[in-house]
Structure formats: structure tokens, C-alpha cells
Amino acid sequence: MIDKSEKATELIKYRDLLLATLDYHIENNKIKIITADFDSTKHYESLKIQTVENFEKGKLAKLKQWFRDLTEMQIETLDFKFNKYLQDKTKYQIDIFESFFQRVDKIIEKGKITTDNQFYDITIMIDQLCQSEPQDKEKMEKLDKLLMNYRKK
């Protein structure tokens, strides 16, 4: 159970993170959607208003859930620019990819992939490693072996 001062601190943190996330969505032309019925910019602007309202009402669980929901795409696509954007804009030392990397490390430790979701995580990690410099050839080989063994099943 968190006390009132911890909750107040968390409320401020998640308000700031959510507002920054919504700004990122608004500013990112690659994910902008405008149709006859929907304008993503207007949608995100309305979510900013709702974020402040939820903050004022002390709805920490809702703010945390929205943050998870609104950062899901950046985690799946490993949008590291987004993580840096959040850190620069909010000054919080946050790593939205921490749980992703923990999942990958657990799969490596276990030595095998057992689910399609794990397969997907390992595939994303290999793609990321292929694009990074310097390349971690040893890790890539381990991950590739895990993928091949899973495909055989």
C-alpha cells in the first residue's frame, strides 16, 4: 500500500509521462491518422485533457494503464527515440524497454522458446541487434538457435 505522499509523487510522474507520450504521438507524423470520422491529433488532445482530469481526481491506476496502453507500440517497434524523448521531456530516468529485455534474458537463461509471444520477442530482439553497432554476434547466434529449435517443433 502506498502512502499519500508516494501516491502524489506517482500521480505527478504518470501525468507528466502521459502528457509527454501524447505530445510524442501528436508530433509524430508517421502515426498521424486523419479520416472523415477521426483525427488522431484531436483525439490525443482530448486525452491530454482527460489525463489532467484523472490526475486531479487522483486516479493513479487509470494513468498507469493509459501509459502502458499508449507506449505499447513504441515498445513493440523498439522506438528508442521515444524513450530518449520521454527522458528529455520529463527528466525522469525511465526505461520503457526494461521489461522487454528482462523477458528476452529469461528466455535465453531457460534455453528455449515455449510460446509464440516469446518467439515474437526473440524475433524483435534479433532485428534490433542486426541494426545496432557493434553487433553482438554471440547473442545473435544464441537467439537464432532458439528460433530454429522452436520452428522445428
Render each residue's pLDDT in the chain as its tens digit; 153 residues: 668 889 999 999 999 999 999 999 999 888 888 899 999 999 999 999 999 999 999 999 999 999 988 998 888 787 889 999 999 999 999 998 888 889 899 999 999 999 988 998 899 888 888 877 788 889 999 999 999 999 987
pLDDT attached to residue 129 = 84
Q: What is the pLDDT of residue 145?
A: 95
Tell me what pLDDT residue 4 has.
87
Query: Which one, of 71, 59, 80, 75, lies nearest residue 20 by Cα?
Result: 71
* Mean pLDDT computed over every residue of the chain: 91
Domain boundaries along the sequence of the chain: 4-90, 98-152
> 3-state class of 39 per DSSP?
strand
Measured torsion, CA atoms of residues 12, 46, 38, 73, in degrees rounded to the nearest 10? 0
Q: What is the pLDDT of residue 134?
A: 82
What's the pTM value of the predicted model, to 2 decimals? 0.72
Q: What is the pLDDT of residue 1?
A: 63
Predicted pLDDT of residue 12: 97
- 39 - beta bridge partners? 34
Q: How many CB atoms lie within 10 A of CB 152?
A: 6
